[in-house]
Amino acid sequence: MKKLIMLLVLLATTSCMSFSDKPLRSVRDSITAQVPGIRLDKEFAVSIGSGLLNLIDVVTLNVADVSKMDHVQVAVYKISGRRRNMDFDNMDLEETMLAKDSKLHWETIVRVREDGEQVWVLAGMNLAKNTLEAVTVFVLEDDELVLINVDGDLEHLIEFALSPAEDRRASVRTG
């Protein structure tokens, strides 16, 4: 019985997780199209689906409450080519994100520029439903680009994150 349970858990977690950058390739391709002469080579990528996120909620007794997310995707790219000092100021990141999900309206909500590092946070909103459905983070540091994309019921997650922790502890003890 233990082996069957372990096999089911292994199947559930591996079927909901991938080490491919496929979900973020359209973003990568849009960036390389906007900045001719560079190449973005994948160093690391992971994509986690809702099945694994639901399992995390079960294991943590719903304390994490991450099951409202549909996907979490992370990709790290090594920048090579002529334009090693790529500058996001010359790119249209909203247009870049439309290549990934054209049904959302993308808006830059945070921009941080420090020496050797640039960070941009974009929100993907469904204007018809008036909901926040995705958040994407771009981190450019020296010759490395990190992309992080989270989508799902983000409004619920934000509400959960802003609620006092005391309420969560009480509901876990009584629930």
Total domains present in the chain? 1
Using an 8 Å Cβ cutoff, are 69 and 47 in contact? no
Query: What's the pLDDT at 20?
Result: 82
The structure's pTM equals: 0.74
The predicted pLDDT at position 116 comes to 82
Average pLDDT on 105-130 reads 92
Higher pLDDT, 92 or 51: 92
* pLDDT the model gives residue 121: 94
Lowest mean pLDDT among 12-26, 49-63, 78-92: 49-63
- What local confidence, expressed as pLDDT, does residue 75 receive? 95
Q: pLDDT category, 64, cuts 50, 70, 90? A: low
pLDDT above 70 (res 79):
yes
pLDDT value at 14 more than 70: no
Whether residue 10 has pLDDT greater than 60 = no
**Domain of 154, in residue numbers:** 2-174
